[in-house]
Structure 1
């Protein structure tokens, strides 16, 4: 009886281990080839993405590079099944400066483009993009004081539209030199134009190589108020932003 009982226990333990291993392998395949979750830690993409948003990024949209793997290894260069991002896509990429930090921005410049900010207006190949003024919104300036922030609807040459924020009239990167986007690279910008470190800052972000793209932001699957703890499920009725759940990222 003892031998049989021990054998059953051992068999049950091994079966549990097998189930766990299979589950981990399935999760690894999904994360590597299909979808990967990310959370938003900064306000550089407001109002498109907010601090506390959790979203799925499709790994297959632009093909696969060495940065698609859970652990970055120099196994190969270039992309497998590569497909170029479209202007206006919201993209997660590895920061070229260290090839490790994840950034999320919007693609505004394609290889060969000339990008420039003039008076806070995005210019692509010498042509200012169409902008429509929307109603102002109220934001906290960080010191507890409420300020009005200008809001615009921007339309790219391919028809993609999205909202941008202008915190100040004369921001640090409202007037820039012309950026010539090199072959095989992309120019990324945040929608919160005066609070985004992006390709306009060549020493910190600059032009993003095609290989560094992780995937395209697709849908927000969870969202919680800034400063709230996601693990405190008892507070979810008040802290979860229910209206943002399952919202597509445009």
Structure 2
């Protein structure tokens, strides 16, 4: 409810600004000046008077799409009053309500007779008019794509090997934003198609200084509508990285894709590199394969490019010692491990599992005084690592958890960042919102997201529980798969050694479902064809519709 109240306030403010900057112009067009203040209807009138489709008015206040459409409608209005020069258009887009107000309150603002003007157009002016028509077509193609991107489905690329064998580096996915209910946009004023950053303007290595793709000051609270389903165990889920400190907007944080291995209320545990949920071994689906890390000693150098061609993986590290070579392989299945072990050069091979009780803590400095929480196991006060983790219960909405010095590292981020309370300590006592606290009631569901290639995955074992508000949706299908599209040390040997310089289409993966759990994926070529027809045929259908209307 807070979302729609805040949204209504923004609409009211914009409507007042629109009215103050155009009421005289509406009067000159033969309408009541008060209509310039009415949301949606004010733009409906502009479209009617400038002979454009009137239904476009419903797009005027939509998040992200709205600012683009409003600029277009403002240009139409200014053109109606003869402001057609380039400088007029630039001022209308950059300073809309200020420039329109200057026209509105000027004494010489009059409606221009478009038909009379067209009779005396020069060849150059006719050419410019055609150019304007072409730019309008481009604008509405962008608007159409933005609507799909914001409100229906969003493309994501896979740059790392954390989900290897299920999702490969270079896979590009379409994600259904309605899988778990639609999460309303939280930064309505933003550049279309960009996630969080435009470009690194600072060049100082600090991502917080990068140019943002959105206006952070114009914000809306979290709201999810039509939520009929929640993430289930074994779903592949796209979510925003919880501990992204660069972007304050939840929906602008970096997108991650992992498998949901445990849902709210379940218990997660890793025992010697094996995953257990509620004390039982995980269920391996048809599109999964158990993978492990191995250390391999050889008497001579392996033909790594040849192995890459056969198995599609690489050794993370190759070290030459006095008696031969040492390789660290990630993501080996039991079958491939057995085949590697039979190679004549292999003298010793064993699974690489961290010791139980050995905490995986990383530091930012050589003196080990500052913990790097992004690379350390979660929580940092536990003697856990990625192979021996938990057991830990995934927080569920309504859970009452005990708060103490021992448990605070587990729940601090939930209380302060995800559920927006202040947390402090005073003389050994924990304060929540400046009140002494020994327990806390969880306000939303959380999930455990872990990569299928677990020895090469920065996942919930490091960044902690994923809150429901960070969930984006579920991948529908892989629309393109391009080997060599990203450089990733965990998945492609060519990224390290440079033996493969080009990129190669994986045709067998394209337009295949990514989230079924089946080894044989459903093909979605028909959806791809439909999207292409809609995108490229939109203008044709609009022209055909207008022609039919004219003939009638």
| TM-score, normalization by structure 2 | 0.38
Deviations 1:194-247 (A, max 9, x none): 11111112xxx2111111111211211111223679xxxxx9x97112222122
The question of 1:198 aligning with 2:470 is answered no
Deviations 1:50-80 (A, max 9, x none): 1111111111112222567665863122312
Question: Which structure has the highest helix share of the two?
Answer: 2
Map 1:1-250 onto structure 2 (within 5 A).
3-66=121-184, 71=214, 74-82=219-227, 83-98=229-244, 99=250, 100-130=253-283, 139-143=313-317, 147=329, 149-151=331-333, 168-171=351-354, 172-183=385-396, 184-201=445-462, 205-226=463-484, 239-250=504-515
Q: 1:148: how far off? A: 8.1
Q: Following the alignment from structure 2 to structure 1, what is the Cα–Cα distance between the partners of residues 475 and 268?
A: 23
Q: Following the alignment from structure 2 to structure 1, what is the Cα–Cα distance between the partners of residues 511 and 465?
A: 31
Structure 1 residues 152 and 112: CA distance shift in structure 2, 3 A: farther
Confirm or deny: 8 A CA contact 1:139 1:146 kept in the other structure. Answer: no
SS, match of residue 188 in structure 1: strand
Greater shift after overlay, 89-98 or 59-68? Answer: 59-68
SS, match of residue 224 in structure 1: strand
Confirm or deny: 8 A CA contact 2:176 2:474 kept in the other structure. Answer: yes
Report how many aligned residue pairs link the two structures. Answer: 229
Q: 1:149: how far off? A: 4.9
Q: Following the alignment from structure 2 to structure 1, what is the Cα–Cα distance between the partners of residues 507 and 233?
A: 29
Q: Following the alignment from structure 2 to structure 1, what is the Cα–Cα distance between the partners of residues 317 and 142?
A: 45
Q: Following the alignment from structure 2 to structure 1, what is the Cα–Cα distance between the partners of residues 390 and 132?
A: 63
Question: Which structure has the highest strand share of the two?
Answer: 1
Unpaired runs of 5+ residues, structure 2, are: 1-118, 193-213, 245-249, 293-310, 319-326, 336-349, 355-384, 397-444, 488-499, 516-552
Q: 1:31: how far off? A: 0.4
Q: Following the alignment from structure 1 to structure 2, what is the Cα–Cα distance between the partners of residues 209 and 79?
A: 13
Confirm or deny: 8 A CA contact 2:267 2:392 kept in the other structure. Answer: yes
Q: Following the alignment from structure 1 to structure 2, what is the Cα–Cα distance between the partners of residues 174 and 90?
A: 21
Structure 1 residues 228 and 208: CA distance shift in structure 2, 3 A: closer
Unpaired runs of 5+ residues, structure 1, are: 154-166, 230-234
Q: 1:142: how far off? A: 2.9
Q: Following the alignment from structure 1 to structure 2, what is the Cα–Cα distance between the partners of residues 28 and 107?
A: 29
Q: 1:3: how far off? A: 2.8
Whichever of the two has the greater Rg, that structure is: 2
SS, match of residue 105 in structure 1: strand
Q: Following the alignment from structure 2 to structure 1, what is the Cα–Cα distance between the partners of residues 509 and 268?
A: 32
Structure 1 residues 108 and 225: CA distance shift in structure 2, 3 A: same
Q: Following the alignment from structure 1 to structure 2, what is the Cα–Cα distance between the partners of residues 95 and 16?
A: 40
| TM-score, normalization by structure 1 | 0.78
